[in-house]
Structure 1
Amino acid sequence: MIADDIGVFLSIARSLGRAAIMVDVATCGEDYPGLASRYVHRVHALPPYLTTPEAWVEALIALVRKEAYRLIIPSSDSSLDLLAVAAARMEGEGEDIAAFAIASPAVRQAFSSKAATRALAEAQGVAICPGRTTTADPAAGAAFDDMALPLIIKPSAPYLIGGREAKASVRMIKDRAALVPTLAEMAGREIVVEEFFDGEGVGLSVLAEEGAIRLAWQHRRLAQSSATGRSSRRVGEPPSPVLQRDVERLCRATRLTGVAMFEFRQNRRSGAHVLLEVNPRFWGSLPLALAAGADFPLMLWRLWTGQGAAADPGSFDYRIRKSSLLAEVDRLSEEGGGVAGALRKGGGTALLLLKALFRPAQFDGWTRDDPAPHRVETARIIGRLKEAILRRLRYIWS
């Protein structure tokens, strides 16, 4: 497994480990709290993928050949893209790539590009935000004067292989004066510019086989780290028939085999919704699904290793809520300035850490049978905050 996030790779390791499947982790960041999990058997260090993607691919191929793994699972966009490069290279050399749990080239082409996803959604009658695809050019800011604020600017492919600036984030533009600087930052990239849709973030996650959905799970965002950031608190809910209908159309159109998360915004008052993007890999809210009984990693293992995907169990615990501790800290850091903002930030962070210490079941990193990752994450965040406070005090006293 390729490690990248405590909520994703840790959930995969726990799911497979509980089924007595040995889990190794390959990572170029060896300080992830999730590596403290009892379900991580061995950790393999790989070269930094941001600056040396070619060395990363070569090291991974050598590792796969040496260990003869039954399944290699990505946990992020970057690892998905690089695994696809490694698989293509091995396939070109006549080697078996059945162990790579990555979507087909057609699925990756449709869902790894936001521009391609918009085009497919339109063709399948799935609602999307008003918008257009273009190449970011700071001289072309006036081209979006006919679009209503706020605008959402997304890199069509958020991750580009090679270079420290490989990752580009989604931006919200509330003032047209901010448009040109944002376009300058993304200059040369293909981008999607959309009008903002007022609603709540909803993710419908599936495991499919040849386009037929075998397992479906839905979560709703309760909070997020920033206006365009990742979710920090979530709750599960029964899949919406309307959203699942749209997802079924896209799965059938691409003949999806594997997992994917379809992200929507939905307005509860009007019932209207739009598709925002599709991630053809595991997703950040996976700990919530796993805690509620939707065991996507184990079903993916069975599907990819030839055991066949079991039928959807259909009975999940929708009362569970989960939070990402780190994302919640990031969300609180966005509090306004001034004395009032500092007090809200400090009080909110203190309360959050008390919950992490005394009510850990609320957080992605904790499970009763594997508490170490949450404890490591909490200790590191407390240490980081102590250092920040000390730096601030030294500045005041100096």
Structure 2
Amino acid sequence: MLPSGYHASRAAFRAKAMQAGGRLRTFEHGAAGLHTDTAWFGKDAAASVLVIASGTHGVEGYAGAACQLHFIDSIAAWRPFMSDRLAFLLVHAVNPWGYLHDRRVTVEGVDLNRNFVDFPLAGRPPSAYGAFHDRLMRRYRPLPMGWWNEVRLLAGALTPARRRRLQQAVSAGQYDHPHGLFYGGQAPTESRRVWEAIMQAFLQQRRQAFLLDLHTGLGRRGAGELISYLPPDDPGFRRLSGWYGGQLRSMAAGDSVSAAVEGTLTQAFDRALAGESYAVGLEFGTRPALAVLNALRADHWFHHVAGEPARHRERVKRRMRDAFSGKDADWMERVMARFDEVVRMTVEGMTEPGPD
């Protein structure tokens, strides 16, 4: 069952983790007055750590937190793996402000999964997103007012090749339009600084660390695609692909439901750690891609253009929740079954005997 919101999710996470013997630590978000909580299961000196993160994209925390609560409820099944070799670290609500407000962005209005780049960005060429910003945002109006703009937008994506070009340009991330979609910011966000503090606190002295970053919104409904930013010929990709029986998809190769993205949590995870590290996203499909995109457009428009009229606020929030989570039992069962499968394959990969 999905949590009802950030505060209920946080309370359940903390209560269940303590009851299951997890060691809690809280990281405060000063600007927002909110918190990211962590729960550690296993020995302090474990050489390897599997990190399971939720809420990188705020509103996607409903399903991500549900997976974490399910993991805690099933902790007995994972205790045999906890030894000097392996521990588990759950990170709840990487972007708590977005989770609280049913938005995908941080308190600064930034897509956190585009924010892990080297700032400042002086001299950076304009992004491809700029060619679509007018139709996506400046001319956007809720239907039926904006129907002609929607016709023009759809007309530019009638073929698979054009749709892929649009997806890449729009969702790859941009740093030119603060009120646009997938904006990566001009400086590190509070959520980025908190995430980096968590990595520093728990992972710097480990031999091996793995990040499973939970997301929703792309792909077939209820399906969970494993996504790597690495190209298929990278040794790390090949190793992980073996762990997952060839199910891993590469953003860089264009064979994933996600466009190639820079500045992601997974990229930053790999680059920040001195030991052996791996990171993948697990993306659960919710609704058709156009419905998800239009929920994001409505959210941005009401916050940046319409001035958040009270009569629309709850409707937009419901639309975002519907776009990034599923409510029915079948969807939840499929998500939990896939989550269990992926965690099992990851644990088996991390604990398999290494080369002599």
Q: Scaled by the length of structure 2, what TM-score is found?
A: 0.29
Q: Bigger radius of gyration, 1 or 2? A: 1
